């Protein structure tokens, strides 16, 4: 009896579900020309972040769901601006039907990233209580969005400690706690926490704190060369680091809707 070929014993492909960096484009009013102009401006001023970035179109804040041709035109305008629309946000029955006709998926969990801390959050797991208080400050801080926990990360009582460099294309996420990194965060890398982020090294990629809407979270960095920093959804992109911040120890926090930075 002959052995079956290897191809018949092993699957051709493997599917795994995990969090990836997808931007949520929330329309506040129906203005296709205005939206396209704003997106082109974002791509022109921060190509590293926005050019060919995957985007989910969120129509939930409009007074009424646009018709099929209008949504198809919006997706085309996003693509023409230099971004890549990958689906619609929010899973109402009307949205589902629209997405099916367009042949795109619906991403129903984007609501958590935009809800404030006093709203009912969408959580995959309960957040552990913090063991130590944050440093006292009169200024508000902020929080980050979630990412999968890497096997090399070591959980501690005060947060998640990651002691290896985070390379381009890698992502580290601390769910329900702070994130502490003791090595380089490289260009194209991303670190995310539901609480604050402490980087005892160079930040050359992206840091996103208060991922579930914690506006009291902060970002602390020993050597600032960031591509982007974000707290509770408010972000700043750096194509050219301000001279006074380049390579310096920096902290970031929220003051209302403004994300502020200053040297430590």
Q: Is the dihedral of CA 240, 243, 249, 254 positive or negative?
A: negative
Report the alpha-carbon distance of residue 1 to residue 16 in Å, rounded.
Answer: 35
Place of tokens 């959804």: 233
For the cut 50, the answer to whether the pLDDT of residue 137 exceeds it is no
Same domain, 161 and 106: no
In a domain, 125, yes or no: no
What pTM was estimated for this model as a whole? 0.55
Q: Is residue 140 part of a domain?
A: no
Residue 12 lies in a domain: no
Same domain, 189 and 96: no
pLDDT at 248 over 80: yes
Q: Same domain, yes or no, for 163 and 244?
A: yes
Q: Which has more pLDDT, 237 or 35?
A: 35
Domain for residue 122, yes or no? no
pLDDT digits (tens, 9 = 90+) for 177-236: 999 999 999 988 889 999 999 999 999 999 999 988 899 999 999 999 998 898 988 888
Same domain? For 250 and 163 the reply is yes
pLDDT at 5: 60
Residues 85 and 175 in one domain: no
Q: What is the mean pLDDT of the chain?
A: 78
CATH number of the domain that 203 lies in?
A: 2.160.20.70
Same domain, 259 and 158: yes
- Summarize pLDDT for 29-47 with one digit per residue, the tens: 999 999 999 999 888 877 7
Range of the domain at 194: 154-263
Examine residue 176 and state whether it is found in any structural domain, yes or no. yes
Q: Give, as one character, the DSSP assignment of residue 112.
A: H
pLDDT band at 242 (very low <50, low <70, confident <90, very high): confident
- Lowest mean pLDDT segment, chosen from 27-36, 83-92, 102-111, 173-182: 102-111
Whether 142 maps to a domain, the answer reads no
Same domain, 105 and 168: no
Q: CATH number of the domain at 41, please.
A: 3.30.70.260
Residues 159 and 258 in one domain: yes
Query: Which of the 8 DSSP states describes residue 19?
Result: -
Please state the rounded mean pLDDT for residues 233-261: 87
Q: Which two tokens stand for residue 175?
A: 């769910």
pLDDT value for 93: 84
pLDDT confidence band for 158 (50 / 70 / 90): low
The whole-number pLDDT of residue 14 equals 72
- Walk across the sheet containing 106-107 and list its strands: 23-26, 54-58, 84-89, 106-107
Judge if 183 and 258 occupy the same domain: yes
Q: Are 146 and 166 in contact (CB under 8 A)?
A: no
pLDDT of residue 150: 44
pLDDT of residue 116: 31
Whether 31 maps to a domain, the answer reads: yes
Same domain, 168 and 256: yes
- Return the exposure string of 177-205: e unless at least 16 CB atoms fall within 10 Å of the residue's CB, then b: bbbbbeebbbeebbbbbbbbbbbeebbbb
**Token pair of 63 as six digits:** 């007074």
Of 57, 76, 111, the last residue of a domain is 111
Same domain (yes/no): 202, 257: yes
Mean pLDDT computed over 51-63: 89
> Taking the CA of residue 154 as centre, how many other CA atoms within 13 Å lie in the half-sphere pointing to its CB?
7
């Amino acid at each position: 009896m002959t052995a079956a070929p290897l191809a018949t014993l092993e699957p051709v492909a493997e599917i795994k579900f995990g969090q990836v960096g997808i931007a949520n484009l929330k329309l506040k009013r129906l203005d296709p020309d205005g939206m396209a102009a704003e997106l082109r401006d974002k791509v022109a001023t921060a190509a590293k972040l926005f050019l060919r970035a995957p985007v989910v179109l969120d129509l939930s804040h409009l007074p009424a769901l646009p018709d099929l041709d209008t949504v198809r035109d919006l997706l085309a305008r996003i693509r023409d601006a230099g971004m890549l629309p990958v689906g619609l946000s929010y899973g109402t029955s009307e949205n589902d039907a629209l997405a099916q006709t367009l042949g795109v998926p619906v991403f129903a969990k984007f609501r958590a990233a935009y809800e404030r801390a006093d709203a009912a959050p969408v959580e995959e797991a309960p957040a552990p209580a913090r063991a130590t208080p944050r440093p006292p400050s009169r200024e508000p801080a902020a929080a980050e969005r979630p990412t999968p926990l890497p096997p090399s990360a070591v959980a501690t009582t005060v947060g998640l400690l990651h002691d290896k460099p985070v390379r381009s294309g890698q992502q580290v996420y601390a769910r329900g706690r702070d994130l502490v990194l003791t090595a380089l965060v490289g260009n194209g890398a991303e670190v995310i926490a539901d609480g604050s982020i402490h980087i005892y090294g160079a930040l050359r990629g992206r840091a996103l704190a208060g991922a579930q809407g914690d506006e009291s979270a902060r970002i602390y960095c020993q050597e600032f060369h960031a591509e982007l920093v974000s707290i509770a959804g408010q972000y700043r992109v750096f194509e050219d680091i301000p001279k006074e911040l380049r390579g310096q120890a920096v902290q970031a926090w929220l003051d209302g809707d403004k994300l502020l930075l200053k040297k430590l």
